[in-house]
Protein backbone atom coordinates (compact mmCIF):
# COMPACT_ATOMS: atom_id res chain seq x y z
CA UNK A 1 0.00 0.00 0.00
CA UNK A 2 1.10 3.59 -0.44
CA UNK A 3 -0.16 6.64 1.42
CA UNK A 4 -3.01 4.80 3.15
CA UNK A 5 -4.09 6.72 6.25
CA UNK A 6 -5.60 4.80 9.18
CA UNK A 7 -9.06 5.72 7.87
CA UNK A 8 -8.33 4.34 4.40
CA UNK A 9 -6.79 1.20 5.91
CA UNK A 10 -9.87 0.69 8.08
CA UNK A 11 -12.13 0.90 4.99
CA UNK A 12 -9.86 -1.49 3.13
CA UNK A 13 -10.00 -3.93 6.05
CA UNK A 14 -13.76 -3.66 6.20
CA UNK A 15 -14.49 -4.18 2.52
CA UNK A 16 -11.83 -6.66 1.36
CA UNK A 17 -10.28 -9.93 2.53
CA UNK A 18 -6.78 -8.80 1.59
CA UNK A 19 -4.33 -8.23 4.43
CA UNK A 20 -1.89 -5.40 3.65
CA UNK A 21 1.76 -6.25 4.36
CA UNK A 22 3.50 -2.89 3.99
CA UNK A 23 2.23 0.69 3.86
CA UNK A 24 4.63 3.34 2.53
CA UNK A 25 3.72 6.70 4.05
CA UNK A 26 5.01 10.22 4.67
CA UNK A 27 6.79 9.70 8.01
CA UNK A 28 9.69 11.67 9.48
CA UNK A 29 10.64 13.60 12.62
CA UNK A 30 8.52 16.57 11.47
CA UNK A 31 5.51 14.45 10.51
CA UNK A 32 5.42 11.75 13.17
CA UNK A 33 1.80 10.52 12.85
CA UNK A 34 1.78 8.50 16.10
CA UNK A 35 -1.89 7.45 15.81
CA UNK A 36 -1.57 6.11 12.25
CA UNK A 37 1.66 4.35 13.20
CA UNK A 38 -0.01 2.62 16.14
CA UNK A 39 -2.98 1.65 13.95
CA UNK A 40 -0.63 -0.06 11.46
CA UNK A 41 1.45 -1.75 14.14
CA UNK A 42 -1.62 -3.04 15.99
CA UNK A 43 -2.59 -4.78 12.72
CA UNK A 44 0.93 -6.01 11.93
CA UNK A 45 1.10 -3.85 8.81
CA UNK A 46 4.75 -2.81 8.35
CA UNK A 47 5.06 0.99 8.16
CA UNK A 48 7.66 2.21 5.66
CA UNK A 49 8.76 5.85 5.58
CA UNK A 50 9.10 7.61 2.28
CA UNK A 51 10.83 10.95 2.57
CA UNK A 52 12.41 9.99 5.91
CA UNK A 53 14.36 13.29 5.72
CA UNK A 54 11.20 15.28 4.92
CA UNK A 55 12.88 15.76 1.53
CA UNK A 56 15.36 18.10 3.30
CA UNK A 57 12.64 20.52 4.46
CA UNK A 58 12.49 22.39 7.81
CA UNK A 59 16.30 22.44 8.11
CA UNK A 60 16.42 18.77 9.07
CA UNK A 61 20.14 18.38 8.30
CA UNK A 62 21.06 21.19 10.74
CA UNK A 63 18.27 20.74 13.26
CA UNK A 64 19.64 21.68 16.74
CA UNK A 65 17.93 18.79 18.58
CA UNK A 66 19.11 16.15 16.11
CA UNK A 67 22.60 17.71 16.01
CA UNK A 68 22.96 17.76 19.80
CA UNK A 69 21.79 14.16 20.17
CA UNK A 70 24.05 13.02 17.33
CA UNK A 71 27.10 14.60 18.95
CA UNK A 72 26.79 12.14 21.85
CA UNK A 73 27.23 9.22 19.45
CA UNK A 74 29.43 10.74 16.73
CA UNK A 75 26.45 10.69 14.34
CA UNK A 76 24.97 13.26 11.95
CA UNK A 77 21.44 14.71 12.23
CA UNK A 78 20.50 12.57 9.18
CA UNK A 79 21.61 9.40 10.96
CA UNK A 80 19.73 10.35 14.13
CA UNK A 81 16.56 11.04 12.09
CA UNK A 82 16.79 7.57 10.50
CA UNK A 83 17.63 5.83 13.77
CA UNK A 84 14.62 7.43 15.46
CA UNK A 85 12.33 5.97 12.79
CA UNK A 86 13.99 2.55 12.98
CA UNK A 87 13.57 2.45 16.76
CA UNK A 88 9.86 3.14 16.25
CA UNK A 89 9.67 0.04 14.08
CA UNK A 90 9.56 1.92 10.77
CA UNK A 91 11.38 0.73 7.63
CA UNK A 92 13.21 3.68 6.02
CA UNK A 93 13.99 4.37 2.36
CA UNK A 94 16.15 7.50 2.28
CA UNK A 95 17.20 8.75 -1.15
CA UNK A 96 20.60 10.19 -2.00
CA UNK A 97 22.45 10.75 -5.26
CA UNK A 98 25.79 10.97 -3.38
CA UNK A 99 27.69 7.81 -2.52
CA UNK A 100 29.21 9.14 0.75
CA UNK A 101 25.71 10.04 1.95
CA UNK A 102 24.41 6.58 1.00
CA UNK A 103 27.19 5.10 3.15
CA UNK A 104 26.33 7.57 5.95
CA UNK A 105 22.63 6.69 5.73
CA UNK A 106 23.40 2.98 6.11
CA UNK A 107 25.61 3.48 9.19
CA UNK A 108 22.71 3.62 11.61
CA UNK A 109 22.85 0.18 13.18
CA UNK A 110 25.75 0.73 15.60
CA UNK A 111 24.14 3.06 18.12
CA UNK A 112 20.93 3.26 20.15
CA UNK A 113 18.94 6.33 21.10
CA UNK A 114 17.87 6.48 24.74
CA UNK A 115 14.28 7.00 25.87
CA UNK A 116 15.22 10.62 26.66
CA UNK A 117 16.62 11.08 23.11
CA UNK A 118 13.46 9.57 21.62
CA UNK A 119 11.27 11.89 23.73
CA UNK A 120 13.33 14.97 22.78
CA UNK A 121 12.80 14.12 19.11
CA UNK A 122 9.07 13.61 19.67
CA UNK A 123 8.99 17.25 20.80
CA UNK A 124 10.17 18.57 17.41
CA UNK A 125 7.12 17.17 15.57
CA UNK A 126 5.49 19.86 13.39
CA UNK A 127 2.65 17.65 12.08
CA UNK A 128 3.86 18.92 8.72
CA UNK A 129 2.99 16.91 5.64
CA UNK A 130 5.88 16.73 3.18
CA UNK A 131 3.44 17.11 0.29
CA UNK A 132 2.61 20.75 -0.42
CA UNK A 133 -0.62 20.26 -2.31
CA UNK A 134 -4.01 19.38 -0.87
CA UNK A 135 -6.13 16.66 -2.44
CA UNK A 136 -9.04 18.85 -3.56
CA UNK A 137 -12.05 17.95 -5.75
CA UNK A 138 -10.39 19.98 -8.54
CA UNK A 139 -7.20 17.90 -8.29
CA UNK A 140 -9.21 14.67 -8.34
CA UNK A 141 -11.08 15.91 -11.44
CA UNK A 142 -7.72 16.55 -13.10
CA UNK A 143 -6.51 13.03 -12.27
CA UNK A 144 -9.75 11.60 -13.69
CA UNK A 145 -9.03 13.24 -17.07
CA UNK A 146 -5.81 11.22 -17.40
CA UNK A 147 -6.38 8.42 -19.88
CA UNK A 148 -4.57 5.13 -19.67
CA UNK A 149 -3.89 3.57 -23.10
CA UNK A 150 -3.51 -0.18 -23.60
Measured from the CB atom, the residue of 71 and 96 that comes closer to ligand NAP is 96
Q: From the list 9, 40, 54, 85, which residue makes contact with ligand NAP (rule: CB under 6 A)? A: 54
Candidates 5-13, 29-37, 38-46, 94-102 — which segment interacts with ligand NAP by CB under 6 A? 94-102
Quote the crossing angle between the two packed helices 77-87 and 115-122, to the nearest 10°: 100
Sign of the Cα pseudo-torsion (62, 67, 71, 77, in order): negative
Phi, psi dihedrals of residue 16, rounded to the nearest 5°: -135, 165
Q: From the list 23, 31, 32, 105, which residue makes contact with ligand NAP (rule: CB under 6 A)? A: 105
Contact 127, 29 (CB under 8 A): no
Interacting residue ranges for ligand NAP, rule: CB under 6 A: 2-3, 24, 50-56, 61, 78, 93-98, 101, 104-105
Amino acid sequence: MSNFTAGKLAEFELFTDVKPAVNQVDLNVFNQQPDDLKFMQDRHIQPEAWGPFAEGKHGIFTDPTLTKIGQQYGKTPAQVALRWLLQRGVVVIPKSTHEPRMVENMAVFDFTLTDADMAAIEAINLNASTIDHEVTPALIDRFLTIRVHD
